[in-house]
Amino acid sequence: MSLLDVTGLTVRSSSGVLVRDVSFSLGAGERLGLIGESGSGKSLTSLAVTGLLPDALVASGSVLLDGHQVVGARDADLQPLRGPVAQIVFQEPLTALDPLMRVGRQVAEPLRRHLGLRGTELRAAVAAALEEVALSEPRFARAYPHELSGGQRQRVAIAIALAAKPQLLIADEPTTALDVTVQDGVLALLERLVAERGMALLFISHDLAVVSRMVDRIVVLRDGSVVEAGPVAQVLQEPAEPYTRMLVDSARALDAYLDAGEGTR
């Protein structure tokens, strides 16, 4: 059985269909990318996978997460899965983190809730979680999110997501809000932690270069539907669909522009 098995996933709003008949699977330790332009349904798919869709949206089809049906399940039944089984790192950590709570307390919450840690053991686990994401100085645990840089906040978000040792990490455009140098550091951190822990990774992005670095297989979405899927090398080197070819050509044109130094003028 796959760790994540999505079959015929459809997401509707009162105005129409936003995600249509999306299917893919992800096994333990596998890395899969969802790629497409803004509005293609990538983020809605990731929210549906964990049962976090807004109340105004309705999902149908099937999403089996570690054998548990997510579509139609009560939130109370899904809570035990969010942490030990699957966790999300969102695009903008400043909105994902609680601005009124110190970083250490936010990292402690999943350790307390899912692993039952308390007292000295909890404090040690918080320190270890922050050290793992290169925030080992005590000042980071005492800080509020607004006192940290964007890259540091995203590292905190990663520490929180990984605290309960999930089997699946969902990274939804985790570096889009960061500059190029910081982005590279966060991606390297994610690569290392996913490999060390043997986690499955569902990586969501519009950036082909980032996706090709992070995953082995990709699913291309357009207007809420899958247009192409397969191994990274196959899809990016020999795209079968016009939309995928357009994405690849656009990425190559941007790379050539930047390599020529035009983007720095």
First CA to last CA across the chain, in angstroms? Answer: 52
Sign (positive or negative) of CA dihedral 126, 128, 134, 138: positive
pLDDT digits (tens, 9 = 90+) for 50-63: 999 999 999 999 99
Bridge partners, residue 58, by sequence: 12
pTM for this entry? 0.90
Instruction: Give which of 36, 35, 183, 163 is closest to 108, Cα–Cα.
Output: 163
CA dist 151 and 176 (Å) reads: 11
Length of the chain: 265
List strands edge to edge, sheet with 31-35: 86-89, 168-172, 200-205, 31-35, 217-222, 225-231
Q: Which residue has the tokens 């986690």?
A: 199
Rounded to the nearest angstrom, the gap between the alpha carbon of residue 176 and the centroid of all alpha carbons in its chain is 12
Residue 33 contacts residue 205 (beta carbons within 8 Å): yes
* Cβ-based neighbours of 203, under 8 Å, separated by 6 or more: 31, 32, 33, 34, 171, 210, 211, 214, 215
Q: pLDDT at position 1, please?
A: 66
Model confidence pLDDT, tens digit, residues 125-161:
999 999 999 999 999 999 999 999 989 999 999 999 9
Model pLDDT for residues 3-45, shown as the tens digit of each residue: 999 999 999 999 999 999 999 999 999 999 999 988 899 999 9
Task: Evaluate whether 32 touches 52 at the Cβ level (below 8 Å).
Answer: no
Chain-centre distance for alpha carbon 163? 15
Quick one: CA dihedral 225, 231, 236, 240, positive or negative? Answer: negative
d(CA 20, CA 61): 10
Task: Tell me the CATH number at 110.
Answer: 3.40.50.300
Task: Quote the percentage of the chain above a pLDDT of 70.
Answer: 95
The answer to whether the beta carbons of residues 229 and 217 sit under 8 Å apart is yes
Tell me what pLDDT residue 251 has: 72
How many domains does the chain contain in total?
A: 1
* Domain that includes residue 42, residue range: 4-264
pLDDT band at 263 (very low <50, low <70, confident <90, very high): very low
Cα–chain-centroid distance for residue 161? 10
H helices present in the chain, as ranges = 42-49, 75-78, 93-96, 103-115, 119-132, 138-142, 150-162, 180-197, 208-214, 232-237, 242-259
- Asked if the model's pLDDT at residue 265 lies above 60, the reply is no
SS3 at position 243? helix
3-state DSSP assignment of residue 261: coil
Report pLDDT digits (tens) over 164-183.
Answer: 999 999 999 988 777 777 88
